[in-house]
Structure 1
Amino acid sequence: MKYSVSSLMCFGLVMVPMIGKAEDIRLAVGLALPPYYLSEEQSGMELEIIKQALSYRGHTLTALFVPFARVIPSLASGFADAAAPANEASGYQVGYYSNPHITYKNIAVTLVSSGLDISSVNALANCSIVAFQNAKTYLSSDYADAVKNNPRYNEKSRQDLQIKMLVSHRAEVIVLDENIFKYYAVKQGIDYHAKMKIHPIFDSVAYKVVFNNERLMQDFNAGLAHIKQTGVYQQILDSYLTNDE
């Protein structure tokens, strides 16, 4: 069950005296990317973290779901007050970047029963692989080189299908974000701890929220520190990545 504001308050999310005017923050985010963003539900793991951190100083949040290519331009044009996920590599130089609030980490996953040991990107060269769409673009050049001549390499836009293809032995390896993998595995009722092996062969990437207002960035940082200290942050993660309803 996902946490409501009232239930999160029980974990210690208590308002502090206002330092500045409380505002409704228009946050530009990419279209649905479960579990980070769920546009139909106006929710998601990352969205809830941002919302709860901002509420520490009394701010509310309105999510503006836009194509990923429009996230930063929405902030630059003034259509939004903040944007996520972002970091300095996003190229927006006049905004105020928060402390990291979420880490994305791509992984390779195999069935335990296959006995495969994927210890490096190069080990993928001869495997049957189903990766996320445009993985050869987003991942390292080493990855692109490793799979470019592999006739058994495929990419899928629907990431829930990657797990189904692994379970049905239509792929030996799937490549996707770790939290997306766990989210869909739980949704499909799969005990991934027992049946699947995670191979952490890719680097993690930390992401931030970028604001057009320095005070809002500072308010967010204060709230982020608070929800981590009180355990609310971990409760939000667990609510999306476990099946403890």
Structure 2
Amino acid sequence: MFKATFLATAVTLSALQAPTTAAAEALTILAGDLPPMFNGDGSGREAEVISSVMERCGHTVTFEIQPFTRHWKSYAQGKGDAVATVPLGMPLPGHATEAYIQYQNGVSSLAENGAAYSDLSALSGQSVIAFMGASDIIPGLKDAVPAFKSYKEIADQIGQSRMIFGQRVDAVIGDGMIFAEYNRQLRDQAGELMFDPNQDVTFQAIFAPSDYGMYFRSEALTADFNRCHAEAVADGSLAAINRAWADRYRDTLGDQYLGH
């Protein structure tokens, strides 16, 4: 009798201590339209990272692409099973994952200028453009702006590439891979432009990488994602994905993008 009771108790304790996992699901994940992290067709560097992690856990994913930042609002309003590219600490419904991806902000400029940017002070006296909200996100940027010749933030990031190639600004602050992708898109339109999009550009990663997480409505799916992400980091799968994407833009990024 004692032995049977002991075994039953042991089984119960084992079940309670076992990690919670979710049954295989087909998930809809809201994501921002931010090439090449997420392209309009649901492909991209970040899309590949998330898909790889969730498939490792036995889940399938479909990405619903929306304008960046709107995807957070749509998720908060009840759409989707999860939402991607969420700044750590941002309050949203559901359960936050650990950081799963990094973006690398830095300074991009025309190579012919030969500028070396080691920190924000090197931009003193220069005309600078950045992505919308950059001065609230990048540490020290807001304090450095008064020393710039000019400073503007724009939501249309392909416009940043237009301005650098048109030599209307000296430098662009933003993620190097996103900048490089929009440069590629402009090169496809070369015959239609009033400037040369084939000018060489350089990227210098003077800022610390930015971490992003996800939110899932299900706590079990959040646990699954964290577990499978850790496994993919440990076996090198995610490093291989990130390196392959950096290789596509090597002419702009050099070795400056997250060490890849």
TM-score, normalising length from structure 1?
A: 0.74
Q: Give the whole-Å Cα distance in 2 for the aligned partners of 1:27 and 1:113.
A: 42
Q: Give the whole-Å Cα distance in 1 for the aligned partners of 2:134 and 2:128.
A: 11
Q: How far did 1:112 drift?
A: 3.9
8 Å CA contact 1:75, 1:212 repeated in 2 = no
> Equivalent residue for 1:45?
45
Q: Give the whole-Å Cα distance in 2 for the aligned partners of 1:183 and 1:34.
A: 7
| Cα distance change on mapping 1:24 and 1:51 into 2, 3 Å | same
What are the equivalent positions in structure 2 for 1:129-208 lying under 5 Å apart? Answer: 129-140=128-139, 142-148=140-146, 150-185=148-183, 188=187, 195-208=200-213
Q: Give the whole-Å Cα distance in 1 for the aligned partners of 2:181 and 2:239.
A: 15
Q: How far did 1:115 drift?
A: 3.1
> Equivalent residue for 2:248?
243
Residue identity opposite 2:204 in structure 1:
H
When the two structures are aligned, how many residues end up with a matched partner? 219
Identity, % of aligned positions: 29
Q: Give the whole-Å Cα distance in 1 for the aligned partners of 2:247 and 2:157.
A: 18
When structure 1 is superposed on structure 2, of 198-207 and 229-238 the one drifting more is 229-238
For the residue of structure 1 that corresponds to 2:89, the secondary structure is helix
| Cα distance change on mapping 1:47 and 1:164 into 2, 3 Å | same
Q: Give the whole-Å Cα distance in 1 for the aligned partners of 2:146 and 2:29.
A: 37
| Cα distance change on mapping 1:230 and 1:158 into 2, 3 Å | same
> Equivalent residue for 1:82?
82
Q: How far did 1:168 drift?
A: 4.8
User: Is there any run of 5+ residues in structure 1 with no aligned partner, and where?
Assistant: 1-18, 190-194
Pick the structure with greater CA Rg.
Answer: 2
Q: Give the whole-Å Cα distance in 1 for the aligned partners of 2:233 and 2:143.
A: 39
> Equivalent residue for 2:103?
104
> Equivalent residue for 2:12?
none
Q: Give the whole-Å Cα distance in 1 for the aligned partners of 2:126 and 2:240.
A: 37
Q: Give the whole-Å Cα distance in 1 for the aligned partners of 2:76 and 2:162.
A: 40
| Cα distance change on mapping 1:149 and 1:20 into 2, 3 Å | closer
For the residue of structure 2 that corresponds to 1:242, the secondary structure is helix
Q: How far did 1:58 drift?
A: 1.3
> Equivalent residue for 2:224?
219
> Equivalent residue for 1:26?
28
Residue identity opposite 1:56 in structure 2:
R
Structure 1, residues 61-115: CA drift from partner, whole Å, max 9, x if none?
A: 12222344443443344322211112442123x5322222111221112334323
For the residue of structure 1 that corresponds to 2:107, the secondary structure is strand
> Equivalent residue for 1:14?
none
Q: Which has the higher contact order (CA 8 A, sep 6+)?
A: 1
> Equivalent residue for 1:62?
62
For the residue of structure 1 that corresponds to 2:71, the secondary structure is helix
| Cα distance change on mapping 1:113 and 1:76 into 2, 3 Å | closer
